[in-house]
Structure 1
Amino acid sequence: MRGVVLRRILSALVAMCFVVACGIAASSTRDVQRSLTPVEHHRGEEQTWLTFPEWYLVHSPAEFARYMAAQRPPSEFPFLGHVGQLWSSYGQVIKATRDRTFNAGYHVMIVVIATSTTIEYGLREAYEVLIGRLGELTRRHGPTAEEKLAAKVAQDYVDFVRVSPWYDFDFWTPLRAVWRDTGCGGDDVVRKWERKYALSTEYLAKGLYGWVIRKATHASYEAPLLTTAVVVDRWVDRISGSWPEMKRVSSFRDGGELVLLPRYEAFKGVATALARSGANFVEIAGNPRDALILVSVLVSDQWQPDARGVHTLFEQPVLTEPGRKRAVLEVRVGELAQVLREFDGMQVTVEHAYDY
């Protein structure tokens, strides 16, 4: 099984390199259109696709956190399967953007984080299968204090990276907790000490690597905008109280409004609230009605989209939840609100809206 996974990873890497080589010289063919959004709030349409591999590194830990919360054995978590999904999704992203502006800086970032994740997940898979499984076999009294701590930290990490860069997460506090709060004796002492070693190594390595990445990122990149400028066809007073981050900037004669919305994870929530209120999107981050925006949903593996204007870019099985899949959809900006309204009445969990 793992041999098949490795072959798929290698195939995805080869395909990715080929498409990159063919697409480096490509440039955007979209005509420049007059925009209602100030230039400083514009982000290229290609970024809605490019942000998916970055956000997969939120979706993957979220799946791991759910897995750990169910007290399932870490040795059976499909780390290599997630590596395969990460690289294959990047290959799909490259194909989808080959006729658009080539954003070299974003591609470099994706390759760096995907490569480091490949190394991390490969090491974790090897350790859990070869060493961690032996520790699991010695356990007789349910999860140890270290395992409960690991499950909590996994969820804390996911909650953090939904709104902030991973390298700003405080790994030092859980590292201290491994030794300060879990005890050194008692039941299943072999498993306890094996977990102490595994968690200490993980948190120490991530804390140090995060410190290096944080320094390099601050030296190489400007601080990102924390808002997304949108133009909607109407202002909705009744939701503004629930979303104080939503700022009304200016009004237009036709009744439209330029509004600043929170970016990243919060964008999905406020965009859904606007859609429920009856508002529709005219522009998002300077991208007009006919531009595409990516949305991922978690659904049953039999589900197929029937909303107008929705195209499935690719699908991924949720590897630890049989019968569920992630569908990554392309939606027109002008139809996003209607699609969100339709999903509201279905058994569809909107995972993320990739707001450029």
Structure 2
Amino acid sequence: MSRRGLGIARCLVLLLLLTGVCMAQAPSPQTPLTPEPDRRGVEQTYLTYPEWFLVFSSAEYADFVRSQPPSRFPFIGHVRQFWRGYAAVDSAIRDKYPPNDEYHTMIRVIGVSTSIEYGLRRAYESLIGRLSEATTAYPATDEDQLAARAAQEYVDFIRLRPWYEFDFASRLRAVWTAPWWGKDPLRKWERKYALTTEFAAKALYGWVIRKATHAAYGEARDTTLAVIDHLPDGLETELPKLTPLAPPDERGVLVSLPRYEPFSHYASVLAQRQVRFVEIAGNRSLILVTALTPRGWAAPAEFGAPLFVEPVMTRPDRQRVALQVPVAALDQALRTLSQPPMVLEHVFDY
């Protein structure tokens, strides 16, 4: 090799070494911008579905009993849907993400307890409940109306807070302070017994679960940190709980968003403002989204194959579709799923 060629080779080697040093010092583009304490494993976006299905089930029940007696509600069908949903998410994450044994154990515990509760309610309502229904036109009694209100109040509460914090005791007192005489006394007394049993058992069970949960995990965080590509002007009034946590740079903006049910609303509003998500709780891969769509609706090809599709049993014209959406495409998915007649149900922000 000529002296000139040797000099060029040496320069190339030096350049490669310097480039390697700079690359080693620069953060990987895949390194999450979310601080470590606020990151959650990707598997949890899937594993939160069975918990939220119980919210969806309660909402379906609350809507149903406004006009129809509880004996006609498909309790056993909902038990089946719970376990099918859990099987689907377990299959999706098995061997792909680190095991999360504690979360699996929690899901199985609530699944078994819900299966027992729904089984007992189905048996009771099919026998005793149907007999008392024959004496009245539903929902004629104060107790039926109280039960329907309590069911809706429960749903509104658990969209924001854990179920075991709901005040079942005050609903139990309302059952006993309602008049003992009036139209259709047999139905009134039967409902007093049924509601007393239900509210008392849930109040006691909720107290036990609350103590155990706080002892094991402490108070749950009520925010989710996300990185978005930009922050549009004028969001302060529309999304008052959105808080920027760092100045914007070329990588995006780190923001704090409310967790649980409000996250879906905040994410949808941001999507309508053409904001793209970069990370959600440190996750840049997939996030689970459910929507209620007309029966037979098929997801666009860019969203991939649905994780599962389930009928809404009290609404023959509707189905629940679960989609595994790339975080970077979440804004596009939310804009699509927010178009009537579709209803965005939930974005699983862990």
Is this a same-fold pair by TM over 0.5? yes
* Conserved? CA contact 1:239–1:273, under 8 Å: no
Change (3 A) 1:164 1:187: same
* Conserved? CA contact 2:69–2:138, under 8 Å: no
Aligned equivalent of 1:217:
213
C-alpha distance in 1, partners of 2:199/2:329? 43
Aligned equivalent of 1:81:
77
Does 2:297 correspond to 1:300?
Answer: no
C-alpha distance in 1, partners of 2:29/2:247? 23
Q: CA deviation at 1:32?
A: 10
Q: Please provide the CA RMSD for this pair.
A: 1.5
Q: CA deviation at 1:343?
A: 2.4
Q: CA deviation at 1:240?
A: 2.4
Aligned equivalent of 2:98:
101
Aligned equivalent of 2:282:
286
Aligned equivalent of 2:174:
177
Identity across aligned pairs (percent)? 50
* Conserved? CA contact 1:141–1:187, under 8 Å: no
C-alpha distance in 2, partners of 1:345/1:215? 42
* Conserved? CA contact 2:289–2:346, under 8 Å: yes
2:182 match: secondary structure: coil
Change (3 A) 1:192 1:158: same
Does 2:334 correspond to 1:340?
Answer: yes
Deviation sequence 1:165-185 (CA, Å, 0-9, x none): 0000000111010111x2111
5 Å matches for 1:253-292? 253-254=249-250, 256-288=252-284, 291-292=285-286
* TM-score scaled by length of structure 1: 0.88
2:206 match: secondary structure: helix
Change (3 A) 1:201 1:342: same
C-alpha distance in 1, partners of 2:270/2:71? 43
Aligned equivalent of 1:311:
305
* Conserved? CA contact 2:291–2:337, under 8 Å: no
2:183 match: secondary structure: coil
Q: CA deviation at 1:310?
A: 3.9
Structure number with greater Rg is 2
2:254 match: secondary structure: strand
Aligned equivalent of 2:65:
68
Q: Which residue among 105, 110, 115 is the counterpart of 1:118?
A: 115
Q: Which amino acid aligns with 1:117?
A: T
C-alpha distance in 2, partners of 1:342/1:238? 23
Give the aligned length: 322
* Conserved? CA contact 1:311–1:331, under 8 Å: no
Q: CA deviation at 1:344?
A: 2.9
C-alpha distance in 1, partners of 2:231/2:310? 37
Query: Tell me, which stretches of 5 or more residues in structure 1 are unaligned?
Result: 1-30
Aligned equivalent of 1:150:
147
Return 77-86 or 340-349, whichever deviates more.
340-349
Aligned equivalent of 2:131:
134
Q: Which residue among 230, 233, 239 is the counterpart of 1:234?
A: 230
C-alpha distance in 2, partners of 1:233/1:341? 17
* TM-score scaled by length of structure 2: 0.89
* Conserved? CA contact 1:140–1:188, under 8 Å: no
Aligned equivalent of 1:331:
325
Query: Tell me, which stretches of 5 or more residues in structure 2 are unaligned?
Result: 1-27
Q: Which amino acid aligns with 2:288?
A: L
Q: CA deviation at 1:255?
A: 6.7
* Conserved? CA contact 1:234–1:257, under 8 Å: yes
Q: CA deviation at 1:186?
A: 1.6
Change (3 A) 1:40 1:32: farther
Q: Which amino acid aligns with 1:147?
A: D
Aligned equivalent of 1:15:
none
Return 302-311 or 162-171, whichever deviates more.
302-311
Deviation sequence 1:305-344 (CA, Å, 0-9, x none): 1162343000111111112111111100000001112223
Q: CA deviation at 1:46?
A: 0.3
C-alpha distance in 2, partners of 1:292/1:255? 19
* Conserved? CA contact 1:307–1:342, under 8 Å: no
Q: Which amino acid aligns with 1:325?
A: Q
Return 314-323 or 343-352, whichever deviates more.
343-352
